Amino acid sequence: MPIQWQGINIRCVLFDQERLDLKNNGFCFYFCLLLQCSQSWQDVSKSQTVININTCLKVVWFLLFALSGYISYFALGKTVRMPKQKLESVFSCPSVFLVSMSPYLKQIFTGDLFYLTCNASGNTVKWYKDGVEQQMWADGTVRIAVTSPKDSGIYQCQINGPKSDPVHIKVQDYVPTASLSINTGQPVMKTGDSVVLKIENEDGLQGWNCWVNRGEKTNKVKLKLKNDTVSLNFQTTNLTVPETIYWCTDNTGCRTNQITLRTSDKQVSLEMYPQSAVVGQSLTLRCLAWGTDQISHTVFYKGDSVVKKGGSSTYEISPVSDDTEGTYKCHATFTHVARTSGPPYSVLSDHQDVLIQKRPVTAVLSEDMVCSCQSCPGNWSERYYKKHDQSWVRLSSKPSGAGTFSCRAVGARMRTSLSASIHVPHPNPSGILIIILIVGLVALIVAAVAYIWHKRRNATGE
């Protein structure tokens, strides 16, 4: 199997003899192993690729064996040989390049975004998923956005002959145990600006840190936490690249959803709320002009076709369907309050890709307030929530009384989406009054009948 090192293709023929003479043939063998091991560690440092550590441990094993072989050769005048069968059982020469993931995610959930990169040089790149060539992927880096369980599989790339080691991707059909959201700012910001993000975890934030990915680089964001906090706001650094991804993890393997922030140099941007367009839910597109709300006319486009125009700067899509997916942009006519003369400004935004996300597994709340999840594995617990203003507040027990309630099932490192809400109205005061009056009237009639009967009985007795 050839190995490319500094532009030179090196081929090590390891298993063409019944026995391998470590003295005469060992140099090429160990050179190949060391190149592959060092290349793997370089890939790890660049893109946090997970490799099979056993490969490098086997390299150390062979180096120790070589050292003993050379010592015995010079000390005893003998050549140490290893049977071919033994050699193959201990070490199988791995691929010469790897597929790396950026940002690296230990757990992948529905809606995540990541890139796969083929870490090798060459003119022609082929990608395979579960052994099937992906004709639409021809670049060294592929973007997998808004993941779903259908993206699970084994990925490999191929350049000039050999295939890479396989990368196993499994997308969980659930949501992470904690949430990350934009508290102040927009999904699309002007280059150089920043936003404030909010992390929330019902079980506390001790042991949590956040991460930021800008292309191939991932850096740690240390949080200033208090002992009893369950939510925290923190400001991002200035956004200077087209795409920045934030997410958070704790020391047990739990994580939040991702927040993807993009930049634009234009005065008008197209914003999307929420960031993920989920089938069956509603989506709002907003045309925003920086520094003013004096927008007199807006045109929304899907591709090059007008989908809405008029005085409103928002475009509501409800419910979201597969046909909603596409590339959108908006054109705004606006002015500033301080501008007293001259024609209004007219600016077209950058385009935004609206990708459709499959709805994760959702719990079910019955009319008698029982939370269930038929597809949840193992022993999952239930949590109940009551709506307060525009947020959900966790309850310590099953719902009772009036209000709007929801629930979710929670596992070790993942949870379901919130169930559809159930509204329990307050008792109708007029209805209660009518019931009281009816009960009182019935009691009065019963009392009158009893009185008349008692009076007639006494009269008959006399």
pLDDT, tens digit, 9 for 90 and up, residues 247-295: 999 999 999 999 999 999 999 999 999 888 999 999 999 999 999 999 9
Asked, for residue 296, whether it belongs to a domain, the answer is no
Asked, for residue 55, whether it belongs to a domain, the answer is yes
- Cβ burial, residue 292 (10 Å; 0-12/13-18/19+): middle
Residues 121, 83 within the same domain: no
Q: What is the CATH number of the domain that holds 161?
A: 2.60.40.10
248: its two tokens: 């958070």
- How many domains does one find in the chain? 4
> In this model, does residue 228 exceed pLDDT 90?
no
Asked, for residue 70, whether it belongs to a domain, the answer is yes
Task: Give the range among 153-162, 178-187, 248-257 with minimum mean pLDDT.
Answer: 153-162
End-to-end CA distance of the chain: 124
pLDDT in tens, 102-114: 999 999 999 999 9
Task: Give the range among 87-91, 207-211, 286-290, 377-381 with minimum mean pLDDT.
Answer: 87-91
**pTM of the full predicted structure?**
0.75
Handedness of CA 371, 373, 378, 383 (dihedral sign): negative
pLDDT at 107: 96
Residues 372, 398 within the same domain: yes
pLDDT in tens, 50-67: 334 444 555 566 666 666
pLDDT in tens, 387-435: 998 889 999 999 998 999 999 999 999 999 999 999 998 876 665 677 7
Asked, for residue 350, whether it belongs to a domain, the answer is no
pLDDT in tens, 183-193: 999 999 999 99
**Which of 121, 152, 172 is the last residue before a domain boundary?**
172
Q: At 21, is the pLDDT very low, low, confident or very high (cuts 50, 70, 90)?
A: very low
- The count of other CB atoms within 10 Å of the CB of residue 3 is 20
**29 or 332, greater pLDDT:** 332
Rg (CA), the chain: 33
Q: Which residues contact 122 (CB under 8 A, 6 or more apart)?
A: 159, 160
pLDDT at 341: 82
pLDDT in tens, 341-378: 889 999 999 999 999 999 999 999 999 999 999 999 88
**138 or 87, greater pLDDT:** 138
Helix (H, G, I), strand (E, B) or coil at 248: strand
Spatial separation of the C-alpha atoms in residues 201 and 179, rounded to whole Å: 7
Residues 42, 82 within the same domain: yes
pLDDT at 19: 34
255: which DSSP letter? B
pLDDT at 39: 46
Quick one: how far is CA 158 from the chain centroid?
27
Quick one: how far is CA 212 from the chain centroid?
13
Spatial separation of the C-alpha atoms in residues 113 and 278, rounded to whole Å: 15
Mean pLDDT of 89-97: 48
Asked, for residue 133, whether it belongs to a domain, the answer is yes
Task: Determine the angle formed by the axes of helices 22-47 and 53-76, rounding to 10 degrees.
Answer: 150
pLDDT in tens, 115-138: 999 987 667 899 999 999 999 898
To the nearest whole number, what is the mean pLDDT of the chain? 82
Residues 134, 117 within the same domain: yes
pLDDT at 13: 37
pLDDT at 226: 83
Contact 247, 234 (CB under 8 A): no
pLDDT at 276: 84
For strand 356-357 and strand 277-278, is the pairing parallel, antiparallel, or unpaired?
Answer: parallel
> In this model, does residue 87 exceed pLDDT 50?
no
Asked, for residue 185, whether it belongs to a domain, the answer is no
> In this model, does residue 89 exceed pLDDT 50?
no
pLDDT at 344: 93
Helix (H, G, I), strand (E, B) or coil at 457: helix
**Which of 90, 109, 144 is the last residue before a domain boundary?**
90
Asked, for residue 37, whether it belongs to a domain, the answer is yes
Query: Cis peptide before 274, with omega less than 30 degrees from 0?
Result: yes
The parent domain of residue 141 ranges over 99-172
422: its two tokens: 């159930």
Asked, for residue 292, whether it belongs to a domain, the answer is no
Residues 49, 111 within the same domain: no
